[in-house]
């Protein structure tokens, strides 16, 4: 089978987020099963910022048994990257099936158009905040106008998609409300347990001489970093004799300056370590050496960061917002609190810091969840079965005409 995975970013832009890892892991696993897989994407690099595009990256690059086909972005606005020449690349290769990941993107529009033009089945995954992302309501007039234009195309894509692949029941409800006729299949997101192995001494490299709790994600308002910093300030006041630190790792998406200002205002510069644009290996090492992960997001669909933490048997404190409870389950593999509630978050942090047995219990449960259900092998097998079913149904329809 010839499979086209379409997404707005891929390697080496690992700091872009979950879309990158989902596509790469799917490509790697499915290509290992003997199929021809190409990721069609942009030349986003991230080496010099969150919206830097690098013409020097190879246009076509082989990773193991799959390919990445990059085309240059000639215009970008926020996370909307325009690379029109990608259309021709997909058309020339004539895949058997197209799977677009990241629905609110220019790349999903290209995937839809090629699918329509060549009558190729289209599988759609969101992973980007279809209708629920807070930025949609908080943006200015220009961006709201852009989102409305995107909404027009999103409805077309959903209507014409052969199948919508969602990570949990929360996403399923969203798509069902948009188009009751859509075929929707739940395929859990998964992480690569083989790659999630710590190879470096994180504390030594960053000169951290104490235990630490960890945040990994974009420096964005919606990630709840302000709530976390305020909660950590409460924790430090309550546990005055404790030498616990907070490590914040990520890439600036508009909140970095405000975040650093708040840390300074609360006199936490010595207790909070901010690591900007971290190498992937350092993120992996941080998971392994942390006490636990804190992800106090105001919004998430199906986050991968908790799954990565679970891979190291580390529990997660997060919020009961949107799709998070389908990944972080309260009192089973983590603790859930109300979003934007610093006091409740601080209480959860203190609870885990003071109870090593609870940390171990929740962490082991999280690991079992990933090992048994939310890993990239299961995700790839289920996705491949979905592709095969779609193509078989399409062939049967042609035979019956």
Q: Summarize pLDDT for 279-302 with one digit per residue, the tens.
A: 899 999 999 999 999 999 998 889
Q: What is the pLDDT of residue 327?
A: 96
Same fold, 2-190+375-400 and 202-372: yes
The more confidently predicted of residues 367 and 15 is 367
pLDDT computed for residue 152 by the predictor: 86
Domain 202-372: what homologous superfamily? Glycogen Phosphorylase B; (3.40.50.2000)
The pLDDT of residue 136 is above 90: no
For residue 139, is pLDDT > 70? Answer: no
pLDDT at 132 over 60: no
Nearest to 90 by CA among 64, 72, 111: 111
Which residue would you say has higher pLDDT here, 185 or 239? 185
pLDDT average, residue stretch 175-188:
90
Chain Cα centroid distance, residue 173: 20
> Both ends of the chain: CA-CA distance in Å?
24
Q: What is the CATH number of domain 2-190+375-400?
A: 3.40.50.2000
Q: What is the mean pLDDT of the chain?
A: 91
pTM tops 0.75: yes
Q: Check whether the bond before 12 is cis (ω within 30° of 0).
A: yes
Q: In the predicted model, is pLDDT for residue 341 greater than 90? A: yes
Q: Give the Cα separation of 389 and 395 in Å (integer).
A: 10
Cβ-defined contacts of 234-239 (< 8 Å, 24+) = 234/342, 234/343, 234/346, 235/346, 235/349, 235/350, 235/353, 236/268, 236/271, 238/346, 238/350, 239/350, 239/353
Task: Say what the pLDDT of residue 273 is.
Answer: 96
Helix axes 256-265, 225-238, angle to 10 degrees: 20
Instruction: Return d(Cα 21, Cα 15) in angstroms, integer.
Output: 10
Angle at 289 between CA 286 and CA 294, to 5 degrees: 65
DSSP strand pairing (60-63 vs 66-71): antiparallel
pLDDT tens, 58-109?
999 999 999 999 999 999 877 789 999 999 999 999 999 999 999 889 999 9
- The mean per-residue pLDDT over the stretch 229-242 comes to 88
Q: What per-residue confidence (pLDDT) applies to 370?
A: 96
User: Where do the domains of the chain lie?
Assistant: 2-190+375-400, 202-372
Q: Which pLDDT value is given to residue 46? A: 73
Q: 179-208 burial, b for 16+ CB within 10 Å, e for fewer?
A: eeebebbebbbbbbbeebebeeebbeebee
pLDDT band at 317 (very low <50, low <70, confident <90, very high): very high
Does position 159 have pLDDT exceeding 80, yes or no? yes
């Amino acid at each position: 089978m010839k499979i086209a995975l379409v997404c707005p970013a891929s390697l080496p832009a690992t700091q872009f987020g979950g879309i990158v890892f989902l596509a790469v892991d799917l490509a790697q696993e499915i290509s290992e099963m003997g199929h021809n897989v190409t990721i069609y994407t942009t030349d986003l690099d991230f080496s010099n910022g969150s919206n830097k595009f690098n013409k020097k990256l190879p246009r076509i690059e082989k990773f193991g048994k799959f390919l990445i086909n990059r085309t240059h972005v000639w215009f970008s606005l926020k996370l909307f990257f325009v690379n029109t020449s990608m259309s021709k690349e997909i058309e020339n290769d004539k895949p058997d099936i197209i799977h677009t990941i990241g629905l609110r993107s220019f790349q999903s529009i290209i995937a839809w158009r090629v699918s329509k033009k060549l009558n190729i089945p289209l599988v759609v995954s969101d992973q980007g905040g279809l209708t629920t992302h807070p930025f949609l309501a908080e943006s200015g007039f220009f961006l709201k106008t852009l989102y409305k234009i995107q909404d027009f195309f999103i409805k077309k894509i959903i209507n014409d998609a052969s199948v919508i692949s969602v990570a949990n029941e929360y996403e399923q409800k969203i798509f069902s409300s948009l188009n009751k006729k859509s075929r929707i299949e739940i395929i859990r997101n998964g992480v690569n347990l083989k790659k999630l192995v710590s190879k470096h001494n994180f504390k030594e490299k960053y000169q951290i001489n104490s235990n630490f709790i960890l945040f990994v994600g974009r420096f964005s308002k919606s990630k709840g970093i302000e709530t976390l910093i305020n909660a950590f300030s409460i924790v430090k006041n309550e546990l005055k004799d404790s030498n616990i630190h907070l490590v914040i790792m990520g890439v600036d998406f508009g909140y970095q300056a405000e975040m650093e200002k708040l840390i300074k205002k609360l006199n936490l510069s010595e207790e909070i370590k901010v690591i900007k644009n971290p190498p992937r290996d350092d993120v992996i090492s941080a998971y392994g050496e942390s006490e636990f992960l804190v992800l106090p997001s105001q919004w998430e669909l199906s986050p991968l960061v908790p799954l990565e933490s679970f891979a190291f048997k580390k529990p997660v404190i997060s919020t009961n917002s949107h799709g998070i409870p389908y990944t972080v389950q309260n009192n089973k593999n983590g603790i859930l609190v109300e979003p934007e509630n610093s006091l409740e978050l601080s209480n959860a942090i203190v609870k885990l810091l003071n109870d090593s047995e609870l940390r171990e219990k929740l962490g082991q449960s999280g690991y079992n969840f990933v090992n048994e259900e939310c890993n990239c092998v299961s995700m790839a097998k289920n996705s491949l079965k979905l592709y095969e079913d779609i193509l078989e149904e399409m062939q049967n329809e042609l035979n019956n005409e």
